Amino acid sequence: MKILEKMSLRGKKIFVTGGARGIGKSIASAVAEAGADVAIIDIDIEEALKTADEICKENDVKTMALKADVTNPDDVNNMVEAILAKFGRIDVAFCNAGICMNIPAEEMTYDQWKKVMDVNLNGVFLTAQAAGKVMIKQGGGSIINTASMSAHIVNVPQPQCSYNASKAGVVQLTKSLAVEWALKNVRVNSISPGYIGTELTLNSPSLKPLIEQWNQMAPLKRMGRPDELQAIAVYLAGDTSAFTTGADFVIDGAFTCI
């Protein structure tokens, strides 16, 4: 079989949390283009429905949209049951939902700290755990967690200790699950994007001065684009990455090299 045929995702059933917009939407579009049926999971169900409809019209695949709070175990379990009811199985889980708060550490409340950790780390665990249980019963699958280059560096000038700590936790969680589930044929990897120019980021007045500083610091002098994460997502979702597990892929235009 030729390499392009091996990279096809035709017949695979995939879900993407935080899939309604930004990086999640770009990943969902990519796996659908590669042939997978995809479930768009988001707290914003109206936007999730729009994204699912758009992807369905552009690709010869099945789509669905579900509202779920990844910090709520019941929501996560119900989400998985709904996907199984429509798709019959889950081959790939993209645990992508996340938030960030730029608040100085000395001013951050405990509730704010817990909210970031709950979405970014606990939410990834709950989602990966639920998907992993299904994949173990099926005989295998692939889980991809969205971490961040912030797991490896301390971002400046914005104060975001909770975000950085949560994403570092995602990388270590990924490695731990990969080892635990290796002999169960469930692969677990993470993607660590650098600064990505999503529509929300680029249109935020409060981020404009930060973007200018980030670009001055960046070796490539620009932010990444959401579509520049698509190839690694399709690779990790497919069978050509069968020997790839426990890895963290930093895609940051060499930002963490400086």
pLDDT per position as a tens digit, 34-77: 999 999 999 999 999 999 999 999 999 999 999 999 999 999 99
| Domains identified in the chain, total number | 1
Residue written as token pair 């729009």: 50
Cα angle for residues 24, 28, 29 (degrees, 5° grid): 120
Position 1 pLDDT exceeds 80: no
User: Active-site residue numbers?
Assistant: 148, 163, 167
Secondary structure of residue 22 in the 3-state scheme: helix
60 near 11, Cβ under 8 Å?
A: no
Asked, for residue 1, whether it belongs to a domain, the answer is no
Asked, for residue 207, whether it belongs to a domain, the answer is no
- pTM metric for this prediction: 0.96
Asked, for residue 131, whether it belongs to a domain, the answer is yes
Which position has the higher pLDDT, 189 or 206? Answer: 189
Q: Using alpha carbons, select from 45, 131, 51 the residue that is nearest to residue 94.
A: 131
What CATH number did the domain enclosing 193 receive? Answer: 3.40.50.720
Q: Concatenate the DSSP letters of all residues of 39-94 into one string.
A: EEEES-HHHHHHHHHHHHHHSSS-EEEEE--TT-HHHHHHHHHHHHHHHS---EEE
Asked, for residue 111, whether it belongs to a domain, the answer is yes
| Alpha-carbon torsion angle 50, 56, 57, 60, nearest 10 | 170
Q: Which domain holds residue 151?
A: 10-199+226-250
Asked, for residue 257, whether it belongs to a domain, the answer is no
Asked, for residue 246, whether it belongs to a domain, the answer is yes
Position 209 pLDDT exceeds 80: yes
Q: CB under 8 Å to 140, separation ≥6 — which residues?
A: 184, 185, 186, 187
10 Å Cβ neighbour count for 44? 14
- Pairwise CA distance, residues 18 & 40, whole Å: 8
Asked, for residue 48, whether it belongs to a domain, the answer is yes
Cα angle for residues 173, 179, 183 (degrees, 5° grid): 140
Asked, for residue 156, whether it belongs to a domain, the answer is yes
Which position has the higher pLDDT, 200 or 107? Answer: 107
Mean pLDDT, rounded, of the chain: 96
**Which residues share a beta bridge with 141?**
186
